[in-house]
Structure 1
Amino acid sequence: MKLSLVDQLAEMRGIESNYIDAWGKPMEVEPQSKVRILEAMGYVIEDEQKLQQQLGQESEQAWLEPLDPVLVKRQGEQLVLALRLPIELVNDEMILRIVDEQGALADQRIVASDGVLIDATHIQDGEFQEYLIEISTTVEQGYHQLRLLADDEDEIACMRLIIAPPACYKPDAIKKGDKVWGLSVQLYCLRSERNWGVGDFSDLCFLLGEAAERGAQFVGLNPIHALYPANPDACSPYGPSSRRWLNFIYLDVSAIEGYGHPEVQKLISSGEFQARLGHLRDADYVDYQGVMALKLEALNLLFEHYNNQYLKGNTRQNRAFKAFVDTGGESLQILACYDALQAHLKQQGKDYWGWPVFPEAVKQYGTPQVEKFKKTHSQQIKFFLFLQWQASIQLENAHKLAAEKQMCIGIYRDLAVGVSEGGAEIWGNQSLYATDASVGAPPDILGPLGQDWGLPPMDPKQLYRQQYQPVIDLFRSNMQSCGALRIDHVMALLRLWWVPKGNNAKTGSYVYYPVDDLLAILALESERNKVLVIGEDLGTVPEEIRETLTNNGVYSYRVFFFEQAKDGGFFSPSHYPEQSMATLTTHDMPTLTGYWHCLDLELGKTLNLYPSEEILRSLYDSRHNNKQRILDSLHAHGSIPDWIGREVEQVGMSKELNHGLQMHMASGSSALLSLQLEDWLEMDKPVNVPGTYSEYPNWQRKLSKPLESVFSRGELQDLARGLTERRKHVSEGD
């Protein structure tokens, strides 16, 4: 009986019992995995009586709420809502009032019993009935309120009504068939003669300008989400503190108004400061601790003078700052308070890595002790609000520059799949997250042991109860100051692999999410913000979700090295779907040079990533075969000169082979082609080695050349010219 109840509850909560693995083999989820996931969702599985009571309370709560929290529909679809009422009210006349975003009202008089009866139950000796009610009003796209009023206009219930367009936005140039190319880069990797040891928003402006001059239509970035200023070595862009706000390490301090103040200049020009700056700038790997310390030292002094001069009266700057803070709302206040609190705990010598180790009284936002902290540390919180404001200004300036350069996309941003366990986003909304579980992936070709990313998942039920506001905020904030958004692991809109805390990654299960609702919201935000959407759909992806994503206007993500036929040959990029972004490699893969010379396998051996010599040998054999097939394909398509050998044993990576691979991709049918700046520079070291934490300096390796010298190199100017011409020919059908 208990197992049956668990299975029923697991099915009700969207926990998968069976799935198809990366090798096409049917797999069954272990019963204990389902139990652990249900426990992470808050169910008391070990006590059947308590569980029955809990389920009864949930059912009763649902019946006592006349309307669902939210209804999501596409424009033009028939609107039908479920209405639950005590039997004594089902024959009463009521008013359904739709209030749109402009405050306009549309009323419809209804009697519940005129609808279709679909369910009934008894609660505490009273009968409740559920009816389907058709809404006759035509509702435009947007976020609206639907209120249920009694005949005397007293409000009985309220729900959110979301009306979305059929699909995501496409820029006019892409819509008419233009094939474009751009560069992708990890922003922190950028070297320049003027930055402070980490790439910044001014470097981004320089890169956008130079790339646009040479025909590129976009520059793609790593996630630039807020990380941890008090803990800078937690530097993975895919494990952020908050996905709604920016990592202010990317600020160009010298571009902030007030940088020229004499006291700020005295600090900057001091011998000690310049020596630290020179060291940080020259290092081959980003020293996050050093960079953050240097920038915060200057920013604190700059803010002190800026605050006194501009943020205490009715100045233009203060009005703009206050408007930014008001628009940012509670989410911005949570992050600024969190950053100040974490810095305060660190200064006191207390545990500070994340809210799970904070003192009990401040373990979540909104407690009396946190409110007290906000009052006593208001100036420090204002400082962090100021930094977010300045970061948003500098990113927006880069976006405007791309528009001035007439790039059809400009900046494309990257949205991480989750936030790390100790971050501000969870601290401020703990009921939304299942902190006793983590997002990951089942075993696949790249990760035969499965993957655990250490990112607590959102509970889909809580997301629904919060009217999808967290995901609306997430999409909207990441569509600011850009022309495209890449969604990392886009499968998260359909399902996520939950790994219960303490389990290994193999013993998890998929948990399903309301994909139709989430895609509708994505389409609405995409259309409103005029942002194209790219879905990173690598790994184990059911074919039906690919079709769903395509129908919703989401661009697929096609990586050349993964596009293999069953016979081992590589598909020509001319066979890729037009609605896709093609690329040669990603941030989780070796560079072209690293791949061709098997440097990633050599590094993996050094880092003990392979269980046995036999597995490593099989990887070498597979790589050898793949390289031969690639060479065959490049020659067959005339993408490389005839003088390059045809036997892989005799062909090393060269400039001609490197550029040939890029030109081969440029001949493809994908609307978008993204090429990594590392491969332009023929670099060999990866930026990230999956499966490592401290064994390799992930997310720290800089580019080998400063930006100022990259675009002056003749061979790269020729490459850019060739890419632009090739993409134009493909656009014209040549």
Structure 2
Amino acid sequence: MTDDVDHPSDALLRLAELHGITTDFWDYHGRRQTPSASTLRHVLGALGVDAGSPALVDLALRNAEDTPWRQVLPPFVVTRQGRSVHVPVHVTDGDPVRAWVEIDPDAGGGRRDLEQADAFVEPRTVDGRRVGRATFALPDDLPLGYHEVVVEGPSAQGHSPAVVTPARLTLTPALGDSERVWGLMAQLYSVRSRDSWGVGDLVDLADIAWLTGRECGADFLLINPLHAAEPTTPMTPSPYLPTTRRFVNPLFVRPEAVREAAYLSSADRALVEWAAEPARALNTDTGPIDRDVAWTAKKAALEVVFAAPRTGARQRAFEAYCAEEGTGLDTFALWSALAERYAGQDWPDEAWDLSSPLVAAARTELADRVEFFRWLQWVADEQLAAAQAAARTGGMALGIMHDLAVGVHPGGADAWALRDVLAPEASVGAPPDMYNQQGQDWSQPPWHPQELARAGYRPWRDMLRTILRHAGAIRIDHVIGLFRLWWIPRGQSPALGAYVKYDHEAIVGILALEAHRAGTVVIGEDLGTVEPWVRDYLSERGVLGTSILWFEYDDQGGPLAPEKWRRLVLATVTTHDLPPTAGYLADEHVAIRERLGLLTEPVDQVRAQAAEERERMLGLLRGRGLLGEDPSEREVVEALHRYIQASPAALLGVSLADAVGERRAQNQPGTDQEYPNWKVPLADGSGRPVLVEDLVESSRLRSLARVMNGS
């Protein structure tokens, strides 16, 4: 990526490394690459560091080296339970200082004095002052929790969060004595019932979970991210480009399931029914799901229900929810009201400043709408709780498995409210590879590593806490993003990006702590280019990986025997970025790319490669006695699932689309408007819609469930 003209200087490389920018990496050809000087300058600029000239580089380098010495305490301290860690404290050289730790009230509270360690470090002159470093030892017997280190002395007054995280998550609480469990994977919006409003919702989620738990023996239900989209139309269809990852898309709320809906006057009940008619008419429509029609109808109905009186207990419950979610909910609700006000037009510059007079005035002017959007989150939270309760009542060991997207929309609520801990002058993407030779730009602003640490990782913690409250498990999309992300400076090609590293010990540690407190299993999507040490690290922390049948290869490039797969994984035959198995066996993945002009090789060659892959897999199935000579499509699908059962994987996932014979993909990577991504309703192999009510009567689903139950 560099040439002699744009080769970075040693000073620029050092500056980049001090700010967490990876200065060499391996590309998809297996070649070692160094980002160009211009790329490093742009990425440093996105981090707020001016490296526009050699003099500025030298200045920034001195500042980066001096900054830790200017801080009395590091902005954040993290350790694992059972480990001691040293905490540096900077004071005027020779001054005394004492330190203690305030214990997390949720971990028992109290105070522990810290002992100074014998760890001499040469003093340093910073800003004309001789600064010394005292090192204190955080004891190894602190309980799990969010503690605070406090220091006091003539030249040192300060405090800093100190988080003790679980050394390792364990599956035992969730799985008990089971060697493994299996579950279903569904795109919730695609699975509708007769009572849906054109889109699968949280009541449908509860019904699917209870039915498949009780009738099929499934132990979890993995669903697409439920993160909030815009509160207006057109609504972004991709669940992986949300406006916020913390709160729920109210599109998934069932209006009639809100308690107050049962006590509406006949006139108001009629308004709700009238609103539902155009949306319910879509439940058996075979065309693309229309979120805009569904949300327009639901929003009108929910406004009627919101206006209905609540009992004193219900009002207190609403107020308690708002108090628990705090400023995060208030800010999201205010953004939603502003997004509604400025729908279809550019926001004034002043509206992007949370401290501006315009935003202050809006808090008062839009107070009723802010309250409405708070309320939407409360009723969504209630329906999520009911879905998880239904899953567990139905016999599921885990229940609902949520999905966490990589990032957020650049014009969304998180980009507005969390801009202090994001890097708006960059976006997340991927470097060039064999499928996308120009790289990929996902248009999502990344976390700013240093600012996130200065904020004590509270935005990350608060988001996890909200999502995990009603989750039995969580899947982390693109889990390598907790370690490093490909940053693309605004206006630059994805090929001109660089990897920026994160403090994975802190980020994964907080994830582990919140999951431990919630009793949640964590799965990381670790497909693609993931360094082996990352997989080892996640396994060490008890975070499961991901294995997809078609992506498991041995050293010779052939299918890896399932017995050699990893134990700590969620293993599946397919994924939402591939056609369902019936479609894959019919070469639908080739046909789609041919129709859309996405092939980079001659179609006959791609078809031949797909046929070879398919026949090789069928041969393996026959060799194991899992398949006869002239199998039906259903028999092949079941044999593939028996194949993954030969693996030691702790979790096995079955696509609901596979279970009903669906052939169409939910998402075609590399497309936007060319394919109805995230809009395909669940149907059988003939294209007939499959409703929630049809699932338990599906002979194909029941047969595949028997396979997964070992029959």
Same topology, TM > 0.5:
yes
Cα separation, 1, equivalents of 2:97 and 2:51: 43
My pick for the range that moved more, 192-201 or 10-19, is: 10-19
The corresponding residue for 1:602 is: 591
The corresponding residue for 2:27 is: 21
Cα separation, 2, equivalents of 1:466 and 1:240: 22
Contact 1:93 1:109 in 2 (8 A): no
Contact 2:227 2:242 in 1 (8 A): yes
The corresponding residue for 1:719 is: 704
* Cα separation, partners in 2 of 1:141 and 1:676, compared to 1, 3 Å: same
Cα separation, 1, equivalents of 2:300 and 2:174: 45
Give the 3-state SS of the residue equivalent to 1:440 in structure 2.
strand
**Identity percentage of aligned residues:** 29
2:110 to 105, 110, 132: 105
Q: Does 1:197 align with 2:194?
A: no
Q: Does 1:700 align with 2:689?
A: no
The corresponding residue for 1:649 is: none
The corresponding residue for 1:510 is: 499
Give how far 1:88 is off: 4.7
* Cα separation, partners in 2 of 1:280 and 1:404, compared to 1, 3 Å: closer
* Cα separation, partners in 2 of 1:29 and 1:97, compared to 1, 3 Å: closer
Give the 3-state SS of the residue equivalent to 2:559 in structure 1.
coil
Residues 274-299 of structure 1: CA deviation (Å, up to 9, x unaligned): 24531465353211111110000111
Q: Does 1:631 align with 2:633?
A: no
Q: Does 1:83 align with 2:89?
A: yes
Q: Does 1:322 align with 2:299?
A: no
Aligned-partner residue type, residue 691 of structure 1: G
Cα separation, 2, equivalents of 1:627 and 1:597: 9
Give how far 1:87 is off: 1.6
Aligned-partner residue type, residue 82 of structure 1: P
Cα separation, 1, equivalents of 2:58 and 2:128: 19
Give how far 1:187 is off: 0.7
Give how far 1:383 is off: 0.2
Contact 1:179 1:670 in 2 (8 A): yes
Cα separation, 2, equivalents of 1:5 and 1:264: 69
Residues 429-466 of structure 1: CA deviation (Å, up to 9, x unaligned): 21211112111122334434422211111111111111
Aligned-partner residue type, residue 398 of structure 2: I
2:628 to 636, 641, 661: 641
Cα separation, 2, equivalents of 1:83 and 1:173: 41
* Cα separation, partners in 2 of 1:525 and 1:145, compared to 1, 3 Å: same
The corresponding residue for 1:228 is: 230
Give how far 1:247 is off: 0.9
Unpaired stretches in structure 1, ≥5 consecutive residues: 352-357, 645-652, 727-734
The corresponding residue for 1:495 is: 484
Cα separation, 2, equivalents of 1:68 and 1:435: 25
The corresponding residue for 1:709 is: 694
Give how far 1:22 is off: 3.9
The corresponding residue for 2:124 is: 121
The corresponding residue for 1:303 is: 306
Aligned-partner residue type, residue 163 of structure 1: V
The corresponding residue for 1:532 is: 521
Cα separation, 1, equivalents of 2:503 and 2:709: 40
Q: CA RMSD in A?
A: 2.2
Contact 1:69 1:160 in 2 (8 A): yes
Cα separation, 2, equivalents of 1:96 and 1:134: 10
Cα separation, 2, equivalents of 1:119 and 1:439: 40
* Cα separation, partners in 2 of 1:474 and 1:274, compared to 1, 3 Å: closer
Aligned-partner residue type, residue 525 of structure 1: E
Note the 1:55-454 alignment, pairs <5 A.
Answer: 55-57=61-63, 60-89=66-95, 92-102=96-106, 104-108=109-113, 115-136=118-139, 138-150=141-153, 156-172=157-173, 174=175, 176-213=177-214, 214-260=216-262, 261=264, 262-270=266-274, 274-279=277-282, 282-306=285-309, 309-310=310-311, 315-346=312-343, 350-351=345-346, 358-454=347-443
* Cα separation, partners in 2 of 1:661 and 1:565, compared to 1, 3 Å: same
Cα separation, 2, equivalents of 1:60 and 1:520: 28
Aligned-partner residue type, residue 664 of structure 1: Y
Residues 111-130 of structure 1: CA deviation (Å, up to 9, x unaligned): x7x74232422234321112
Aligned-partner residue type, residue 721 of structure 1: R
My pick for the range that moved more, 214-223 or 435-444, is: 435-444
Give how far 1:7 is off: 1.1
Contact 2:523 2:545 in 1 (8 A): yes
Cα separation, 1, equivalents of 2:39 and 2:455: 27
* Cα separation, partners in 2 of 1:125 and 1:717, compared to 1, 3 Å: closer
* Cα separation, partners in 2 of 1:590 and 1:109, compared to 1, 3 Å: closer
Give the 3-state SS of the residue equivalent to 1:725 in structure 2.
coil
The corresponding residue for 2:658 is: 679
Cα separation, 2, equivalents of 1:179 and 1:109: 44
Cα separation, 2, equivalents of 1:435 and 1:230: 23
Give the 3-state SS of the residue equivalent to 2:158 in structure 1.
strand
The corresponding residue for 2:641 is: 662
* Cα separation, partners in 2 of 1:643 and 1:691, compared to 1, 3 Å: closer
Give the 3-state SS of the residue equivalent to 2:259 in structure 1.
coil
TM-score, structure 2 as length reference: 0.93
Q: Does 1:45 align with 2:51?
A: yes
Give how far 1:621 is off: 2.7
Cα separation, 2, equivalents of 1:321 and 1:9: 50
Give how far 1:721 is off: 1.7
* Cα separation, partners in 2 of 1:679 and 1:77, compared to 1, 3 Å: same
My pick for the range that moved more, 364-373 or 138-147, is: 364-373
Cα separation, 2, equivalents of 1:517 and 1:623: 42
Residues 504-523 of structure 1: CA deviation (Å, up to 9, x unaligned): 22222211111122222222
Cα separation, 1, equivalents of 2:366 and 2:138: 50
Contact 2:446 2:487 in 1 (8 A): yes
Give the 3-state SS of the residue equivalent to 2:626 in structure 1.
coil
Contact 2:193 2:283 in 1 (8 A): no
Aligned-partner residue type, residue 216 of structure 1: A
Cα separation, 2, equivalents of 1:185 and 1:604: 23
Contact 1:97 1:149 in 2 (8 A): no
The corresponding residue for 1:647 is: none
Cα separation, 2, equivalents of 1:694 and 1:252: 29
Aligned-partner residue type, residue 219 of structure 2: Q
Cα separation, 1, equivalents of 2:286 and 2:583: 21
My pick for the range that moved more, 1-10 or 429-438, is: 1-10
Cα separation, 2, equivalents of 1:546 and 1:175: 25
Task: Name the count of aligned residue pairs.
Answer: 695
Give the 3-state SS of the residue equivalent to 1:564 in structure 2.
coil
The corresponding residue for 1:729 is: none
Cα separation, 2, equivalents of 1:477 and 1:620: 45
Aligned-partner residue type, residue 383 of structure 1: F
Give how far 1:364 is off: 3.0
Cα separation, 1, equivalents of 2:197 and 2:164: 46
Give how far 1:133 is off: 2.1
Cα separation, 1, equivalents of 2:483 and 2:509: 13
* Cα separation, partners in 2 of 1:445 and 1:666, compared to 1, 3 Å: farther
Give how far 1:241 is off: 0.8
* Cα separation, partners in 2 of 1:109 and 1:79, compared to 1, 3 Å: closer
Give the 3-state SS of the residue equivalent to 2:339 in structure 1.
helix
My pick for the range that moved more, 709-718 or 167-176, is: 167-176
Give how far 1:469 is off: 1.3
Contact 2:427 2:443 in 1 (8 A): yes
